[in-house]
């Protein structure tokens, strides 16, 4: 291998590493495939970023002719309202081998309920377990676990909203049980934690005690 060829390979590798290091939440949002956010074409997404960066309160029209708008933007995180009933947070996560993209989708039922997905920098779904959503028993307090059978019969699942804080690398899951159970069942809420927290450690979301 000649010196010139070796130098070209090293420069290409450096450029690739630099591009990965410079991935921001807004770049991830703009480069997402159409299937990821089908209500927003690429031009609309770029307009949304420009409106936010310019300080404009203008909303953009989505495919359903509703309004979509970015509500928060930092290099590591972009939050936007897709419709009146749905919102997203896109997070860029530093990782040893690659930059990961996390997407939190939240819908109002009317209580807020979220799901979280992970992708590599070219939006290929990540197959490794970087985050395992907590089970119903993970949410239970010691008092709740003592009456687990009764509680599971009354509350087979929880409605939970997610929010990630890039400044602390902490993902907070909020239990929205009180928003949809009846007043007579409110006592059941005493058997669940109000929140669970996880910290991104560079490889996965690890539970915080």
Q: Are 113 and 86 in contact (CB under 8 A)?
A: no
Q: Please, which contacts does 5-11 make with residues 24 or more away whose CB atoms are closer than 8 Å?
A: none
State the distance between the two ends of the chain, measured CA to CA, in whole angstroms: 53
Mean pLDDT of 165-193: 83
pLDDT tens per residue, range 125-178 = 998 889 999 999 999 999 999 989 988 888 888 999 999 999 999 999 999 988
Alpha-helical regions (H) of 82-174: 136-139, 142-146, 148-154
> Span 63-78, mean pLDDT?
96
Calculate the average pLDDT of the chain: 88
The answer to whether the beta carbons of residues 105 and 119 sit under 8 Å apart is no
For residue 2, what is the DSSP state? -
Report pTM. Answer: 0.85
Residue 136 class from Cβ within 10 Å (0-12 exposed, 13-18 middle, 19+ buried)? middle
Higher pLDDT, 1 or 129: 129
Cα separation, 98 vs 63, whole angstroms: 33
Mean pLDDT along residues 28-33 = 97
* Percent of the chain residues past pLDDT 90, beyond the cut: 71
pLDDT level of residue 17 (50, 70, 90 thresholds): very low
């Amino acid at each position: 291998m000649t010196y010139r060829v070796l130098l070209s390979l090293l420069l290409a590798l450096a450029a690739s590493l630099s591009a990965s290091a410079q991935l921001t939440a807004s770049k991830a949002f703009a480069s997402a495939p159409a299937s990821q956010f089908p209500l927003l074409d690429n031009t609309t997404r770029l307009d949304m970023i420009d409106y936010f960066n310019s300080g404009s309160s203008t909303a953009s029209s989505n495919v359903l002719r509703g309004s979509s708008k970015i509500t928060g933007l930092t290099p590591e995180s972009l939050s936007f309202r897709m419709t009146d009933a749905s919102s997203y947070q896109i997070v860029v996560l530093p990782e040893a081998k690659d930059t990961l993209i996390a997407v939190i989708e939240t819908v109002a039922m009317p209580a807020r309920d979220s799901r979280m997905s992970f992708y590599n920098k070219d939006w290929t779904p990540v197959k490794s377990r970087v985050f395992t959503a907590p089970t119903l028993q993970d949410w239970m307090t010691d008092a709740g676990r003592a009456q687990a059978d009764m509680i599971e019969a009354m509350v087979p699942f929880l409605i939970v909203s997610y929010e990630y804080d890039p400044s602390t690398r902490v993902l907070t899951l909020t239990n929205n049980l009180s928003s949809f159970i009846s007043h007579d069942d409110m006592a059941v809420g005493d058997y669940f934690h109000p929140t669970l927290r996880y910290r991104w450690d560079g490889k996965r979301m690890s539970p915080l005690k």
